[in-house]
Amino acid sequence: MSTCFIFFSGKGGVGKTSMACATAVRYADEGQRTLIVTTDPASNLADVFEQTIGHKITPIAVVPNLWAMEIDPDQSAKEYRDRALAPIRAAFPAQMVQVIEEQMSGPCTTEVAAFDRFTDFLDMPASSAQPFDIVIFDTAPTGHTLRLLELPAEWIQSIDSAAAGSGQTCIGPAAAIQDAKHKYERALAVMRDPAQATFTFVLHPEAIAIKETKRAIAELAKLGIHTHQLIVNGIIAREETGNQLFAARAEMQTGYLRQIAAELPLPTRRMSLLAGEIKGVERLRAVAGMFFDGLKDTALAPEHVQRFSADLSLLDTPSAAARLTPNGHNRTIFFAGKGGVGKTVASCTTAVWLARQGYRTLLLTTDPAAHLGDVLGVPVGDKAARVPGVPNLWAAKIDPKVAAEAYKARILEDARQRGRPPEALSVMAEELDSPCTEEMAAFDRFIDYASQKDWPVIVFDTAPTGHTLRLLELPVDWSQQLDIKIFASVDSAAADDVAKARFGQVIAMMRDPERSTFAFVMYPEATPILEAYRAVEELRTVGIEPGLVVANMVIPEGQATTPFVRARRAMHEKYLAEMTVRFPVPVVQIPLLPGEVKGLDMLAELGGQVLGEKVPSGVVAIG
């Protein structure tokens, strides 16, 4: 019997990892040899299983028949280069090998290498040392997953074009990676085969999650992938509607559940919002029992929740506001964190608040699944445009595909102006047609905005943590690469010097707490806190410190009126206390609201509630 592949995808924060892990435990308990692999750069598999996993196939200690792996992009890149360069080292002079090795050490190679490792599992022969009956992919949030799944078709085309032209791609000589092309073709065939692959979309009954799921299904259809299922997660149970706050949210969910049934007529299963977290194998087994067998949740009764007497007066409006306002300097604010924790709401709320204080503010997203327009309630395009109804506010999104076309045209025109011969332009055009160009172009747009002096405040609504770290570390990575002249074939030394100076300015800005603030958004739950903590530690390695924490969707103490809500409030108190220990910076709380945060009026009201109506004294406005 051939291996079955199950992809869990969806918007960040909808419970993909929990559902994927519970499903993996169920299949393993039924005797099927099961592997769960995460393609998310900010993996949480180890947190959920409560054991070390890492970049190797690792048995889950207390679940026979279950293995797990967290694909490490950097380790994948090293392995990829070693494989690609091995035959070249044996056949070519050391100087030529060094040039190729430098070309393959670019940031884009990391993305390709992680993708290449991902396709290994889709192309695993039945005779391999560890044949599996089921392989489950716990993917990154939707926008990045679509990018991953588009790569097989894109790299097949790129390798073919290079083979017919210069013979060189940014991931190695075309002749040396023909085997990779065939592997990608086989991987695409597996994903298109309904007998082998199923895509399970996890979503909450909310507008943005529904929109993102519909978009993802449409994009997969373009790739010839049509086998889909739904898991609607986080549904408030009918018996929990005795609480006013949760009753209002349940009413909101009812409308969206009807919309899902009407607009996404696919095999669908539902999962209730639980009183506590899903961590550890026994909890995963209990969740699998609820999900597959319809059992009741008895694993976490309210009386078993530890109460904390920590000081929860964490709302520090003056200190927080001081870290968001320019105060005599231009300021760039990065909202970062796990997918689905509310970065877009936090960034939109902050941008509207700053604009209403009189600051000329640019709100920008680098997330491929951008939802600025959904939250603002106005369209947001690829160029900075005024937001109607809010003086001093502009907004834009970086679309990687649009940015890539402009980037390619600019680089080639610059080369023509410098008098490069037609054959050199042809080679450059081949290199720029690579899928890697989208990452380079999005990065270039980020640098362009971050270098501008026109905006007293720029607010970045970033992609989920792993991809944000990648973006924020790129100025450092690319500056180092310009030092060793990796792009000498594309640009002149003088242009490299200009680029290095530009990158250096952005690096200095990101490291200066007077000019930039890194605000980490998280739910008061273990996984988002751990992910943010790891991100903070990684950013510290490049000299960037956190400036603010936003605790989102906190249940107000006055709403803890039923056993279920009291249990969730107790969990929030526990993790709010942990935040103050892990992150010695001001903490802002955004409360759980009866409905979704949408529209400029609601954002203005929320900003006043969270950050105060007035700029604190001593803060100097500039415009």
Question: Can you give the residue ranges of every domain in the chain?
Answer: 4-80+110-161+177-298, 317-401+454-485+494-611
Catalytic site residues? 13, 15-18, 40, 527
Question: Who has greater pLDDT, 595 or 299?
Answer: 595
Confidence band for 201, pLDDT divided at 50, 70 and 90: very high
Question: Who has greater pLDDT, 239 or 167?
Answer: 239
Alpha helices in 165-280 (DSSP H): 178-192, 207-222, 244-263
Question: Who has greater pLDDT, 204 or 301?
Answer: 204
Q: What is the mean pLDDT of residues 579-602?
A: 92
Fold match between domain 4-80+110-161+177-298 and domain 317-401+454-485+494-611: yes
Question: Who has greater pLDDT, 6 or 141?
Answer: 6
pLDDT at 451: 78
Q: What is the mean pLDDT of residues 256-281?
A: 93
Q: What is the mean pLDDT of residues 18-45?
A: 90
Q: What is the signed CA dihedral for 549, 235, 11, 190, rounded to 10 degrees?
A: 140
pLDDT tens figures, 418-473: 787 887 777 677 667 665 677 667 777 877 887 778 899 999 887 644 555 555 55
Confidence band for 111, pLDDT divided at 50, 70 and 90: low
% of residues, the chain, pLDDT over 70: 75
pLDDT tens figures, 56-81: 999 999 999 999 999 887 787 788 77
Residue 281 φ then ψ, to 5°: -65, -40
Return all residues near 353 (Cβ < 8 A) that are at least 6 apart: 324, 604, 607, 608, 611
Q: Taking 60 as the threshold, does the pLDDT of residue 594 lie above it? A: yes
Q: Taking 90 as the threshold, does the pLDDT of residue 134 lie above it? A: yes
What class does CATH assign to 4-80+110-161+177-298? alpha beta
User: What CATH number has the domain spanning 317-401+454-485+494-611?
Assistant: 3.40.50.300
pLDDT at 623: 41
pLDDT at 116: 76
Q: What is the mean pLDDT of residues 480-502?
A: 47
Lowest mean pLDDT among 211-225, 319-333, 359-373, 514-528: 359-373
Q: What is the mean pLDDT of residues 552-557?
A: 93
Lowest mean pLDDT among 3-7, 169-173, 485-489, 581-585: 485-489
Residue 454 φ then ψ, to 5°: -75, -15
Q: Taking 60 as the threshold, does the pLDDT of residue 368 lie above it? A: no
462-483 core/surface letters (b: 16 or more CB in 10 A; e: else): bbbbbbbbbbbbbbbbbbebbe
Report the chain's mean pLDDT, rounded to a whole number. Answer: 79
